[in-house]
Chains A and B, each alone.
Chain A
C-alpha cells in the first residue's frame, strides 16, 4: 500500500542563509516586532538614547559654556507663557541656562550613569551569582548571605552610604570632578544582589541539565563549563533584569542628586535639575522642576515597559 509521504506542514520558504535575515526571522524578534507595546517602548527608549547621544548637535545652547549663559536671562518661563522669550523654548533655570539644552545634557548624564552603574552591578552580580549557583555548598552560603544582608538595607541607603564614604576619603577640591564615579560605583554596588540572586537561580537550573553533565564527562574544568555552557544560557534573564535595573539606576541617580549627594549643579543631571527646580516651585517657577521630572518619568516608564515586554517575550512560559 502506498504511504502518504506529503509533509504535514505547508511551509513558507525558510531556507534563508544570510545572518541578518535569519536574525530577523528569529521568533524573539518576531514577537517583539508584533507586540505594539514592545515596539512603542523600544522606539521611545531609542528616542531618548539618540537624543542624549546627539545632545551637542541638537541642543540650541551649550549650558556648560559660560559665554552662552546670561545670568540676566535667568528664571524665564517657557516661550509660550507670558514673559517667555522665543529662543528659550522651555524657559531657563535659575542661572540663566536654557532649560531644554540643560535637560538634553542632563538626560545624557543620567543615561550614562545608569548604564555604567548597571554594567558594574551586572558584571559583579552575575559573576558572583554564577559562581554561587555552580559551586554550591559553603561558597554559595557565604555569597548569598552577604547579598541577603545587603538587601535588608534599602538600595538608596546603601548608595548614599557608599557615596558618603567616597566623599569622606577624597579631598574636597576633587569632589565635583569625581562625583559621577562615586555615583556610578554607589549605584552599581547597591544593585548586584538582584543580579546575583537571579543568575544563581538560573545557574542552579542549568547546572543539573544533562549538557553540563556531558561537558563534565568530556573532562572540561568547571571554569570552562561555566564560561562556555552555563553563562550563555543564563544571559537571557540577565538581559531582562539589566533593562529593569537600568530604569531603577536612573531613578537612584536622580534621587541621589535630588538629595544633593550626586551630580553637582555645575554639570546638572535630571535629578539635580529637579532639586534646583524644587527650591523655586513655590515661587511659581514651575517649569524648572516640571520638565525634567516629565522627561525622567517618560524615560523610566519606557525603559521599564521595554524590560517588562522583553521578559514576556524571552520567557517562553509567559508567552
Chain B
C-alpha cells in the first residue's frame, strides 16, 4: 500500500477577538491508497478543520500555526495558491454535506461536470462529455446520457449526492475528503451512498477521509478510524478494534452513548466528560411546587391523548378554481391513543408527517377532519381556544432546534418564567424566581444560568433550558419533537437520560418524535411507524424491533447502522 497523505504535528489556530482558539492540536494522521479513514468527533472537535486545512480552504481567520502536510511526498504547505488550486479537484476531491447547496442550481448537471473535467484534465468538449457520462454511470445514475441535461432540482437528494460524488471524481483525484456526506440524507439513502463510496474507493484505489459525527457510518464503511476530541487526536486504529475495545476513555464514552438498537437499557451509562461542569443538585420533586398539579386539572382515567381519523392536507398550489388547486396529504387518516404515563414514539423519514401530527396535538396546526381529545377533553380538529385553554398548562413541547427555540433577546430567567407568569401559576415574583432557579438546577444547569442569555450556552445546555421551560407550566404531557437530532451523541445520551428521569419523577406522558430508530428503541414504550402521512404499524417496542409486521417497518429496521455487526 502506498502512502498518500502524511499529516505531521498539525496545529491550527483561530485567532479571535480576545482569545486564540486552538482548533487542532498536534494532529498526526497517515492515509494510504485504497483505504477509508473515518475521522470521528463531536461538533467543534476540529475534524472539518483538518479536512479544510488539507485542501487549503481554511476559513478566515484560521491558519496553520505549525506542522506539515505531505501529499505524495510533497509538502503542500510550500505550495503557492495556484498550485493549491490545481491540487484541489485534480488530486484531491471533496464531497460536501449538503447536496442541495453544493451544486449550482442554474447549470445543468452535464455542464457542471464537463466544465470541471475540462478544467481539471484539459480534455476537448466531446471527450469531456463522454467522460461525464462514464462518471455518472459509475456513480449509479440511470440513463446518464439524458440526465446530463437535467438541472440539480430534477434529482432527488440521494441522486444529487451521487452527482456531487461524480463531480469530486471528475479530476481523477487520488484522495477524497468527504465531509459528512450522508448527514443530510435519509437512512435508506445513506446506506446506498456509503456503499457507493466504498465501491469507488475499492475500484479506483482511492484514499478517502470520511469526516463524520456518526459512529454508525464509520462502522459501516471505514477501514481505520481516527477519533478527535477537543482538537486532539485521541485514538487511531483499525475500525473493529477501536469500536470493540476502545482504549481512550473518551472513545469509550462515545461508544457507550450511541443508542443501541438491540436491547433496551434503562439509562445510558452517563458521560460526564463532555459537559461535565453541570453540578447537579436535584430537588425533591414530590414536596416541591413542581410535583403538585395545577388548579383545575383533575385526575382522569383513560388515555391522555386520543387521535381519531385525523387528516390534514397542505395546499401546494393555490387557485381561484377548485380543480386547479393541488394538495399534499400531510396527515392521512391517522388514529392512535396515548395512555397516561407512557412514552409513545412516532417514527418515519423526513416528510412522513410525524411532526405535523405533533403540531396538531400541540395546537400549532389545525387538522381538516378528525377528532382530538386531551385528557378526555374534546378539542376537535379546528381552532378552538376555549377547549384549548384547559390543556394549555399541561401540554408542552420540546422543540428540535435548540438554537432557534429561544428568544435570543430574553435572559434565561424570563424564558423559563414565561409560562408561569402568563398562567399565574405562582403566588409572587420571588417564588417564580426561586422555582426558575430550582428548575434550572434540576435539569443540570447551575444557579447562575438564570441571569445569562441563550447564546452563552451550548446546544445541549440550551436543550436543557428548553426542557426547563416546558416543565415550568407543570405539564402532564410532553411532546418531544426530535429533541436530540441537533445534538452530538454524548449530549444526546445526557438529554435522553434527563427526559427519562423527569418522566419517572413526574409521571409524564410523552409523545416522542424521531427519525432515529435506535433512539426510539431506547425511549419509547409503544411506537407508530409513519410513511406518507399514514400510520403503517403501531406496536410495542419489543414487538416492533423483534418482529416487525409491516414491510416498511422491516425495511427501516434493515437500514439501521449496527455497531455490533461491524
CB distance from A85 to the nearest CB of B (A): 55
CB distance from A35 to the nearest CB of B (A): 13
Q: Which residues in chain A, 202-225, are within 8 Å of chain B measured between CB atoms?
A: 209-211, 213-220, 224
User: A residues within 8 A CB of B363?
Assistant: 216-217
Tell me if A12 and B409 are in contact (CB < 8 A): no
Tell me if A233 and B249 are in contact (CB < 8 A): no
Residue from B18, B362, B407, B422 within 8 A of A211 (CB atoms): B407
Tell me if B397 and A217 are in contact (CB < 8 A): yes
Q: Which residues in chain B, 258-278, are within 8 Å of chain A measured between CB atoms?
A: 273
Tell me if B395 and A215 are in contact (CB < 8 A): no
User: B residues within 8 A CB of A9?
Assistant: 19-22
Whether B248 is near chain A, meaning CB under 8 Å from some CB there, is yes
Residue from B22, B273, B393, B405 within 8 A of A214 (CB atoms): B405
Tell me if B19 and A10 are in contact (CB < 8 A): yes
Q: Mark B402-421, 1 if CB is under 8 A from A, else 0.
A: 00111111100000001100
Tell me if A217 and B389 are in contact (CB < 8 A): no
Given A1-B248, A10-B20: A217 in contact with B395 (beta carbons within 8 A) = yes
Q: How far is the CA of A27 from the CA of B16 in the complex (A)?
A: 11
User: A residues within 8 A CB of B409?
Assistant: 232-233
Tell me if B419 and A209 are in contact (CB < 8 A): no
Q: How far is the CA of A228 from the CA of B419 in the complex (A)?
A: 13
CB distance from A71 to the nearest CB of B (A): 58
Tell me if A8 and B231 are in contact (CB < 8 A): yes
Whether B119 is near chain A, meaning CB under 8 Å from some CB there, is no
Whether A30 is near chain B, meaning CB under 8 Å from some CB there, is yes
User: A residues within 8 A CB of B359?
Assistant: 213
Tell me if A213 and B248 are in contact (CB < 8 A): no
Whether A11 is near chain B, meaning CB under 8 Å from some CB there, is yes
Tell me if B405 and A210 are in contact (CB < 8 A): yes
Whether A4 is near chain B, meaning CB under 8 Å from some CB there, is yes
Q: Mark A211-248, 1 if CB is under 8 A from B, else 0.
A: 10111111110001000110011000000000000000
User: B residues within 8 A CB of A14?
Assistant: 18
User: A residues within 8 A CB of B473?
Assistant: 218
User: A residues within 8 A CB of B549?
Assistant: none
Tell me if B397 and A214 are in contact (CB < 8 A): yes
Q: Which residues in chain A, 1-59, are within 8 Å of chain B measured between CB atoms?
A: 1, 3-4, 8-12, 14, 27, 30
Tell me if B401 and A210 are in contact (CB < 8 A): yes
User: A residues within 8 A CB of B17?
Assistant: 27, 30
Given A215-B418, A218-B392, A218-B422: A210 in contact with B404 (beta carbons within 8 A) = yes
| Residue contacts A-B, CB under 8 angstroms, 23 given | A1-B247, A1-B249, A4-B230, A8-B23, A9-B19, A9-B21, A11-B19, A14-B18, A210-B400, A210-B404, A211-B405, A213-B405, A214-B399, A216-B363, A217-B363, A217-B364, A217-B397, A219-B388, A219-B422, A220-B418, A220-B422, A228-B407, A233-B408
Give the top 7 A-B pairs by smallest Cβ distance, nearest first: A210-B405, A219-B392, A210-B399, A232-B409, A209-B404, A218-B419, A12-B18
Residues of B bordering A, CB below 8 Å: 17-23, 230-232, 247-250, 273, 359, 362-364, 388-389, 392-393, 395-397, 399-401, 404-410, 418-419, 422-423, 466, 469, 473
